[in-house]
């Protein structure tokens, strides 16, 4: 009886050790605001996705991602509308400057890519 009970316990412990953990989709959302407090751009990062979702309060025609040390262009894309996706696998870990171009403004935000996670450090809005 003890041997059977011990065998069952050891088997259950072994099976538990080999069970795979289910990955939970962590959603991180960052908002850059205009000086009046209204949302300018929003960046949403799903941890299980290779893309960042960029949403602007106004239609924008392009965005650029620049290396902050030398302001060298790292990635850019054109856009129509208020939403686009950015492939975060094309970016190495580090801090970048994101510029979103609308017809009236250039919205600037510093972002950091850490193991596929984006964080907002600071943001500004410049009049074109």
Q: Tens-of-pLDDT digits for all 128 residues of the chain?
A: 667 766 675 666 655 554 444 557 778 788 888 888 899 999 888 777 888 899 999 999 999 999 878 889 999 999 999 999 998 888 887 888 999 999 998 998 888 776 544 445 544 445 45
CB 61 within 8 A of CB 112: no
Block residue for tokens 């059977």: 4
pLDDT attached to residue 122: 43
User: What predicted TM-score, i.e. pTM, was given to this entire model?
Assistant: 0.69
Q: What is the H or E stretch that residue 14 is in?
A: helix 2-18
Token pair belonging to 70? 């030398």
Measure the CA–CA gap between 107 and 56, rounded to whole angstroms.
9
* C-alpha neighbours within 13 Å on the C-beta side of residue 8: 5
Question: 1.20.1250.20, 3.80.10.10, 2.60.40.3080, 1.10.3210.10: which CATH number matches 25-127?
Answer: 2.60.40.3080
């Amino acid at each position: 009886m003890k041997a059977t009970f011990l065998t069952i316990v050891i088997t259950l412990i072994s099976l538990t050790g080999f069970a795979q953990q289910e990955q939970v989709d962590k959603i991180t959302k960052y908002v850059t605001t205009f000086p009046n407090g209204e949302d300018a751009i929003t960046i949403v990062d799903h941890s299980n996705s290779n893309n960042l979702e960029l949403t602007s309060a106004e239609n924008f025609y392009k965005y650029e991602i620049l290396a902050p040390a030398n302001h060298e262009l790292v990635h850019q894309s054109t856009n129509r509308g208020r939403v686009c996706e950015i492939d975060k696998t094309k970016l190495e870990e580090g801090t970048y400057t994101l510029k979103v171009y609308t017809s009236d403004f250039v919205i600037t935000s510093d972002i950091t890519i850490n193991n596929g996670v984006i964080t907002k450090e600071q943001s500004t809005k410049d009049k074109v």
